[in-house]
A and B are shown apart, each in its own frame.
Chain A
Amino acid sequence: MNAILSPADVDAIWLTLKLALTVTVLLLLLGTPLAWWLAHSRARWRGAVNALVALPLILPPTVLGFYLLVAMGPNGPLGRLTSEIGLGALPFTFAGLVIGSLIYSLPFVVQPIRDAFIAIGPRPLEVAATLGARPIDAFFSVVFPLARPGFLTATVLGFAHTVGEFGVVLMIGGNIPNETRVVAIQIYDHVEALEYTQAHWLAGGLLAFSFIVLLALHTLNDRQARR
């Protein structure tokens, strides 16, 4: 019998984890200010930004992937920009997947954080300000602890959703080992090649992973709520 996971399978798993980690960290850094703005802004186009953020939830990944392929290609607006600054075209590269995943997983990170900020309301910040805390200090010592369940949900969902990404990668990835061939693509290839045993191992692994991640999230959030 063959080994359960081939070296190519292991490569795909590592690449997927690397992608999900990169994307989650970037999304937390970029998504937190955005979520803050969405929670507190009175701007008229806030509704439009909210809608834009939610768009990847309902767009088929193939639509997103196709637009990204066209936009990031050498003749697209994004592709021209990246060529200009010496990065070259992004499709078929790890950087391209990161950008695609940032957009694809954006609502999963921004929305829980935004909702947590809204739930906290302006009151705790006002109190902190009265007590002499500067805004940055108030954010990390007051808002962040209160919004922790939101951040936890955002982190877990952003990571898990990127791990499960398929359509966008299929459209812009080009199936290159160690660069763009993530687990979901590897499973697809196994199925296409009639290698159902290998497909089962990877797919089953992904299923178990997803379940454990969500179970852990709910357990943690429950414990937090009871505190």
Chain B
Amino acid sequence: MPKTLRSLCAALLLLIAPFATGGEITVAVASNFIKPIEALAPAFSEATGHRVRLSTGSTGKFYAQIQRGAPFDVFLSADEARPARLEDEGFAVQGSRFIYAIGRLVLWQAETNRDIRPDVLRIADGGRVAVANPVTAPYGTAAAAAIENLGLSATLASRLVQGENIGQTFQFVATGNAAFGFVAWSQVSQNGALIRGSGWLVPADLHPPIRQAATLLSRSKDKPAARDFMVFLKSETARQIIRQHGYDTE
């Protein structure tokens, strides 16, 4: 019996050994960044031995949850404003914030091989156009600005539908319920090339830049794994992964 027990303990030790060296952190991630973070997390674990738990959702919800003590260590926001507010309010470490990714907007439709440019939106009976919520979602704010700058506000006023976040906006177009949508370039591209549907990359000067900031939360300011993650996110390895997924970096 003791022998069985001993081998059982040994087996258990073997099981947990790969993880035993590092700590574990929980990262709250804006939903537009799901794909890159799923590539970044294993790379980080491999480099440091720390484990990462991911929680994805909308920036506004995370902001409210963090204010009320949500158990996150690092917050990857979809904008710059809310991490800044968290720092001012003392929920995040003052000065820890930096821009980890700059999002690009694409006018997109689900059918492949279409020649798509903003003029397609001028066709009166051209179907609905999906945007993320312009008030709450940074990609929605950018889409509204691009529509304004393209002189399409009046044309599109009655045809816009709003997704709660950029993921839902994409879903509206992918299911055929909206003919076009302003979605994130990262959702439809890989290594700089379009991988689904047809798209027109909106020139970056048509909307305010979608600058996404990361910040270290105050409750984790002395947590080595969390600090390591912030460092990793600034590394060239991480920046390369982020660019591969359709974002610019600073």
Binding stretch for chain A, among B114-122, B168-176, B189-197: B168-176
B133 contact set on A, CB distance < 8 A: 175, 189, 192
- Distance of B108 from chain A, by nearest CB (Å): 16
Total contacting residues, chain A, CB less than 8 A: 21
Instruction: Say if the beta carbon of A56 comes within 8 Å of chain B.
Output: no
Q: Is the CB of B175 within 8 A of A189?
A: no
Q: DSSP majority for the B interface?
A: mixed
A193 contact set on B, CB distance < 8 A: 60, 135-136
Contact with B along A58-84 (1 / 0, CB 8 A): 000000000001101111000100000
Q: Is the CB of B135 within 8 A of A69?
A: no
Q: Is the CB of B172 within 8 A of A174?
A: yes
With A191-B64, A192-B61, A193-B136 already in contact, the answer to whether A175 and B161 are too (CB < 8 A) is yes
Q: Is the CB of B60 within 8 A of A91?
A: no
B63 contact set on A, CB distance < 8 A: 194
Name the residue of chain B whose CB is nearest to the CB of A66: B171
B109 contact set on A, CB distance < 8 A: none
Which residues of A from 70 to 108 have beta carbons under 8 Å from B? Answer: 70, 72-75, 79, 89, 91-92
Q: Is the CB of A194 within 8 A of B161?
A: no
Instruction: Say if the beta carbon of B186 comes within 8 Å of chain A.
Output: no
Name the residue of chain B whose CB is nearest to the CB of A70: B175
Residue of A72, A189, A191, A192 contacting most chain B CB atoms (<10 Å): A192
Q: Is the CB of B60 within 8 A of A73?
A: no
With A92-B128, A192-B61, A194-B60 already in contact, the answer to whether A175 and B175 are too (CB < 8 A) is no
Q: Is the CB of B60 within 8 A of A192?
A: yes
Total contacting residues, chain B, CB less than 8 A: 22
With A189-B136, A192-B133, A194-B63 already in contact, the answer to whether A73 and B175 are too (CB < 8 A) is yes
Instruction: Say if the beta carbon of B218 comes within 8 Å of chain A.
Output: no
With A175-B161, A175-B164, A176-B162 already in contact, the answer to whether A192 and B136 are too (CB < 8 A) is yes
- Distance of B171 from chain A, by nearest CB (Å): 7
Name the residue of chain B whose CB is nearest to the CB of A75: B176
How many angstroms between the C-alpha atoms of A192 and B165 in the bound complex?
Answer: 11
How many angstroms between the C-alpha atoms of A155 and B119 in the bound complex?
Answer: 50
A79 contact set on B, CB distance < 8 A: 176
Instruction: Say if the beta carbon of A143 comes within 8 Å of chain B.
Output: no
B60 contact set on A, CB distance < 8 A: 191-194
Q: Is the CB of B177 within 8 A of A175?
A: no
Checking B58, B168, B176, B177 against A192 with a beta-carbon cut-off of 8 angstroms, the contacting residue is B58
- Distance of B167 from chain A, by nearest CB (Å): 12
Name the residue of chain A whose CB is nearest to the CB of B81: A194
Instruction: Say if the beta carbon of A15 comes within 8 Å of chain B.
Output: no
Contact with A along B131-148 (1 / 0, CB 8 A): 001011000000000000
Instruction: Say if the beta carbon of A170 comes within 8 Å of chain B.
Output: yes
How many angstroms between the C-alpha atoms of A100 and B176 in the bound complex?
Answer: 18
How many angstroms between the C-alpha atoms of A89 and B168 in the bound complex?
Answer: 18
Contact with B along A14-41 (1 / 0, CB 8 A): 0000000000000000000000000000
Checking A73, A176, A188 against B177 with a beta-carbon cut-off of 8 angstroms, the contacting residue is A73
- Distance of A37 from chain B, by nearest CB (Å): 34
A171 contact set on B, CB distance < 8 A: 168
B175 contact set on A, CB distance < 8 A: 69-70, 73, 75
Q: Is the CB of B176 within 8 A of A74?
A: yes
Checking B58, B61, B161 against A174 with a beta-carbon cut-off of 8 angstroms, the contacting residue is B161
B64 contact set on A, CB distance < 8 A: 191, 194
A89 contact set on B, CB distance < 8 A: 177
- Distance of A88 from chain B, by nearest CB (Å): 10
A192 contact set on B, CB distance < 8 A: 58, 60-61, 133, 135-136
Known: A72-B177, A74-B177, A175-B164. 20 other contacts (CB 8 A): A69-B171, A70-B175, A73-B176, A74-B176, A91-B172, A92-B178, A170-B164, A174-B128, A174-B162, A174-B172, A176-B160, A191-B60, A191-B61, A192-B58, A192-B60, A192-B61, A192-B133, A193-B60, A193-B135, A194-B64
Measured CB to CB, the residues of B under 8 A from A are: 58, 60-61, 63-64, 128, 130, 133, 135-136, 160-164, 168, 171-172, 175-178
Measured CB to CB, the residues of A under 8 A from B are: 69-70, 72-75, 79, 89, 91-92, 170-171, 174-176, 188-189, 191-194
Q: Which 10 A-B pairs have the closest CB atoms?
A: A174-B161, A192-B60, A192-B136, A175-B162, A73-B177, A91-B177, A75-B176, A73-B176, A73-B175, A92-B161
